[in-house]
Amino acid sequence: MADNRSAAKKSVKMRADQADVAQKRPRSRGKSVAYPSECYIPQADWAVSSQSPRIPQIIYVVGGWALAALAFFGDFGGHQNGVVAQSFGQSFKRDLCQEVVQPNAVLSREDLAQMLTIPERSAKSALREIIAEPYCQLPGLAVRADVTAMREAYPLAFDPQTWLVLLYEGEEYAGYAFYWEE
């Protein structure tokens, strides 16, 4: 059994040696090794004459990885794509508000809790009895055919980076969403 294993090792070693000869290349690149003349193969200029022959090879390795990364993450349709965004990275005031209505508007815990008791499809006026004017209005939005949606937003008093967005269709309240700002 042991003999078999060492024999196997030997044959592997032999194969490796044969491979070296077949490739006619040094195994350790750093050392200068004398080769029989029949082992000499012409090499590219940079490999023999450059003072530091490793640098160009590194460029190939880095370039290869860069190409692989591009192929993996890139969308060749020409659209911005790649790493999945965990956040949208937008400033609500700057990027989403179109018109500031009430710059001091914030929503307290009590207002929020009470507002959430109002069912969808209620009248806008029912909500406005609980919560005052919004901080801002967002641009009008075409979601459903023949209806233009209006959106209003309130920052939460106890969590100013979280915004409550309300969507109205005419005088009807359609629903809410929370927007987490970065």
Partner 1 sequence: MRNARFRCSLVLGALLLAGCDVASPMPPVAMNLHQQWQLQPGDRIAGYEVSSGLGDIVIELAGKGLYLPRDGRIQPLDASPDCALFSSPEIPAYQMRICGLKQKHWGDRKQGQSIGRGDRVSLAMLRKQVDGTWTMVEPATQLLEQFLDTQ
Q: Which residues of 141-164 are buried (b: 16+ CB within 10 A; e: fewer)?
A: eeeeeeeebbbbbbbbeeeeebbb
- Widest Cα–Cα separation across the chain: 96
Tokens 């009590």 label which residue?
A: 110
Binding range to partner 1, per CB under 8 A, among 26-34, 42-50, 64-72, 88-96:
88-96
Per-residue binding string, partner 1, 36-75, x by CB under 8 A, is ---------------------------------------x
Footprint on residues 101-140 left by partner 1 (CB under 8 A): 119-121, 138
Q: Is 4 in the site for partner 1 (CB under 8 A)?
A: no
Answer for which of 86, 104, 117, 125 binds partner 1 (CB under 8 A) is 86
Strand 148-156's sheet: what is its strand order? 99-100, 136-142, 148-156, 159-169, 172-180
Q: Which residues bind partner 1 (CB under 8 A)?
A: 75, 77-81, 84-88, 90, 96, 119-121, 138, 141-147, 149, 151, 165-167, 174-180
